[in-house]
Amino acid sequence: MGLSWMAWTGPTAAFFIFIGLCFVAMSVWEYVSPGGGPRHGALGLDTTRGDRLFISLLGSAFIFLGWLALVGPDLWVPLAIAVAYAVAVFRWV
């Protein structure tokens, strides 16, 4: 696949492709619906769409790392938790 020089695995490449697609989707969203001004959320922070994306990605990373440390390598459950967390962040934060 051409990624052997970095010793990447397929899931690692898929993760970074997903992050890139998130940035593209956010760019298209901003182009189609400009503005998206800051919103005062549940944490008492004023956040924009990009802030909420960053918070959801960072929180999802901690969810996965915590799951790996405490439970093991079965990652379907933390994926569901991370998606629910991201939806909650975009809805209420």
* pLDDT, mean of residues 8-33: 88
Q: Please answer whether residues 62 and 86 qualify as being in contact, where contact means their C-beta atoms are separated by less than 8 angstroms.
A: no
* Distance from C-alpha of 84 to C-alpha of 89, rounded to nearest angstrom: 9
Residues 24 and 8 in one domain: yes
In the predicted structure, residue 8 carries a pLDDT above the cut 80:
no
Does one domain contain both 78 and 48?
yes
Tens digit of pLDDT for each residue in 36-70?
A: 778 888 878 888 888 899 999 999 999 999 999 99
pTM: 0.80
Give which of 86, 16, 35, 36 is closest to 56, Cα–Cα: 86
Question: Structural domain tally of the chain?
Answer: 2
Give the range of the structural domain holding residue 67, as residue numbers without chain letter: 37-93
| Secondary structure of 19-52 in HEC code, one letter for each residue | HHHHHHHHHHHHHHCCCCCCEECCCCCEECHHHH
- At residue 2 the predicted structure's pLDDT band, cuts being 50, 70 and 90, is low
Same domain for 15 and 48, yes or no, is no
Kindly state whether residues 43 and 16 are assigned to the same domain. Answer: no
pLDDT higher than threshold 70 for residue 74: yes
Q: Are residues 30 and 41 in the same domain?
A: no
